[in-house]
Structure 1
């Protein structure tokens, strides 16, 4: 009985070993991302850079590449484009939970070399400032490797660096070392602490690559405020993200949720399940006010989409210079909201200040938009434009409910006459415009109506 147990343990051990081997039958074990723990962080780690190669033929089994002898790794094909994935500060020393997912999704975009830059020894320190000082040295290390690639025949324009948090600035340092000749840098919520007052050459900036795109999700905490690419995407204004904790009692999630959302939004965009369309605008408040609901500069292309393939917007963005684009998300997958431009004309005898609530109904289902980021001024003949964003996409709108909430609870309820209202679907231009004319409302009470076909004069 005992010998049977030992045999079973041996078989299980063999299965574990085989799991990390390539399907080709190669007996060589996989090279895994450095896994450290809190004890390493307390003691501090010294910088050591490893480069782990993944291709479509070894997606589940990384192969470490020699910094100076590229021919030692036959899977590394310099005729393919190469994407480097660069993580940030690792206060616990554990491998990033998103690495494998990102590698697989990048491989689906095109046939490329994917190299994970493992600088966990260096990034894993309880002292964040130590990790920051290592970014320059790590960038010099990666710069030397890319120069070796160029000497072996690779084109710098085919190199793409994806940097997360502190890794975004590390990528910028590499790009600056190479005089901005690499093809692209993607910065996912570039780190803010110790970079808020940095000059352009001390952080990621548009001159670091031929094209730089940046996603912001935590500008008021661990992320960096401002614009730092040819195009900067601001999710929900680039600061607080829906669904993330608002109090410190939530523990670790309170500190990292907004910052990490940049990675999860990017993964979702790569996966194709999130079509996150963004509007060019000077500020988030203007975006919410409905002042920036066209993408004329990019036509005939649509509004920019967050993700890997930005080629159809690239030429326009390089011509325009630094461009800010804004979008809103839900708290959970697939993150995408459905937006309508709402144009309405009201007539009321007395000046009223209000927020506005809109429900769209399809059968028994409905979805609601609360446009309450500010008070809207409604007077005798007021034309108001709103951006209404809904969590659910209801395809056939049968009824619409509107409530103009003035907060009046003690005085008489004043009448408000809605002369006309028009709903324009922004992400679904193939859908019809929805209109209604001449509706008598009472403040703070819902009115429900069926939308009608819009007339041409609207």
Structure 2
């Protein structure tokens, strides 16, 4: 008969349902612990498909008696970063469960909270190498027990990304994969590759940047680097210090939440190789020519499907935009406009797509677009909703001028191409006159072959 055991006396245990079974949990500290400082300890908490809610603490020296540790399976290590308040990361449990839902594997949470929980950031930085040495010794024992280094995946957040890199370096870059989620920038920026995460630390290294102008790292660190919304300010995050704690952590923490969405497949985020975020927004990098015949890469957990191509290409920088809220997906269209105005026009374009009662809007206003006679202008339109069977399109042209004459934009051809849905038809409209600040609606038609 199942009994409830309540072990409230021990802070490292939680309530479990099975008789004579205890679940090891992540070290829960508080601000007092951070204030006085903590001495480094590393706990390894194992989760499997059979025990997604119950961690089993592994013995660093001898894990042969572990109940659920199967060395023949893939092993994913989850490594957190700096914890100035001492509290457990809010995303740990969700990440563990999503990983276990993907495939049958060992998920090991590397709990180095005693070492990361300190107001002295530099002490936590120093502890990354010490924790990496500890973890490396454990992985060597795994290898001695028959585990393959190639089957090891490390997911490191902030300082945890560099900690993972140190482990990979100590193992001569032979572990299968390291994922860095917004690797820490302070004290690591400007250092040599030996002192931070770099592409030689694993067979394959993928990195996401979300806060490169503050807590994150700006330069590329992997075989592929994803720059969400340019890698700095994330939509939906506070813009002023008056928002309190969220102002400091929101952009940095967004990296984890984006990765969670890639795991649960609430949306597939297409990433576009490009020289800069500005070029991406200008619609200059939507072809993914280097990846053909494969499609453009998808951000997140499943990027290893493009591993062979990326290893051949070398370091690749990619960009994508997101919405402010989960599931964060935006849907990209290439807009081609050919005009016949004799004089050059500069302006901004707003496009709405209609399908039944549903409507979604894209404002292309990051900079003014140049429209020249008989010259095709390329624009990237990004919508928050993905509408099928588009029945109506509306377009509005604006110069942004408050005073002065109102201009007209004479359009020979308007063409709309769904970038992430290659099976959708190209939609066109011919011979339009757009009066400034006036929304013009029309029903799209299939595009004809015309040369300009």
Q: TM-score range by the shorter chain?
A: over 0.9
Equivalent residues of 1:187, 1:213 under 8 A apart:
yes
What SS class does the counterpart of residue 310 from structure 1 fall into? Answer: helix
1:4 equivalent in structure 2: none
Q: CA deviation at 1:256?
A: 0.6
Deviations along 1:26-48, whole A, 9 cap, x unmatched?
A: 51311111000000000001111
2:119 equivalent in structure 1: 126
Q: CA deviation at 1:12?
A: 8.2
What SS class does the counterpart of residue 264 from structure 1 fall into? Answer: helix
Q: CA deviation at 1:379?
A: 3.2
**2:137 corresponds to 1:144:** yes
**2:188 corresponds to 1:217:** no
Q: Which moved more, 1:303-312 or 1:370-379?
A: 303-312
1:318 equivalent in structure 2: 311
1:447 equivalent in structure 2: 440
What SS class does the counterpart of residue 314 from structure 1 fall into? Answer: helix
In 1, Cα distance between equivalents of 2:191 and 2:379: 37
Equivalent residues of 1:289, 1:386 under 8 A apart:
yes
Deviations along 1:297-353, whole A, 9 cap, x unmatched?
A: 223322111222334311000000011111111011111111100111112233322
In 1, Cα distance between equivalents of 2:320 and 2:446: 28
Equivalent residues of 2:212, 2:232 under 8 A apart:
yes
With over 3 angstroms needed to count, the CA separation of the structure-2 counterparts of 1:216 and 1:452, relative to structure 1, is same
What SS class does the counterpart of residue 301 from structure 1 fall into? Answer: coil
Q: 16, 40, 48: which one pairs with 1:21?
A: 16
In 2, Cα distance between equivalents of 1:90 and 1:311: 29
Q: 31, 40, 46: which one pairs with 2:24?
A: 31
What SS class does the counterpart of residue 396 from structure 1 fall into? Answer: coil
For these two proteins, the number of residue pairs brought into alignment is 446
Q: CA deviation at 1:402?
A: 1.1
Q: 324, 334, 337: which one pairs with 1:341?
A: 334
Matching of residues 8-407 of structure 1 within 5 Å: 20-21=15-16, 25-407=18-400
What SS class does the counterpart of residue 185 from structure 1 fall into? Answer: strand
With over 3 angstroms needed to count, the CA separation of the structure-2 counterparts of 1:15 and 1:115, relative to structure 1, is closer
In 2, Cα distance between equivalents of 1:146 and 1:197: 29
Q: CA deviation at 1:13?
A: 6.8
Equivalent residues of 1:109, 1:308 under 8 A apart:
no
Q: TM-score, normalised by structure 2?
A: 0.95
Equivalent residues of 2:5, 2:15 under 8 A apart:
no
Equivalent residues of 1:86, 1:161 under 8 A apart:
yes
Q: CA deviation at 1:61?
A: 0.8
What SS class does the counterpart of residue 309 from structure 1 fall into? Answer: helix
With over 3 angstroms needed to count, the CA separation of the structure-2 counterparts of 1:13 and 1:149, relative to structure 1, is closer
Equivalent residues of 1:20, 1:61 under 8 A apart:
no
1:8 equivalent in structure 2: none
In 2, Cα distance between equivalents of 1:321 and 1:343: 31
In 2, Cα distance between equivalents of 1:439 and 1:303: 33
Q: Which moved more, 1:349-358 or 1:53-62?
A: 349-358
Deviations along 1:367-389, whole A, 9 cap, x unmatched?
A: 11111111112233332001100
The Cα RMSD (Å) is 1.8
Q: Which moved more, 1:408-417 or 1:383-392?
A: 408-417
Q: 442, 448, 457: which one pairs with 2:450?
A: 457
Q: CA deviation at 1:169?
A: 0.3
In 2, Cα distance between equivalents of 1:149 and 1:70: 9
Unaligned 5+ residue runs, structure 1? Answer: 1-10
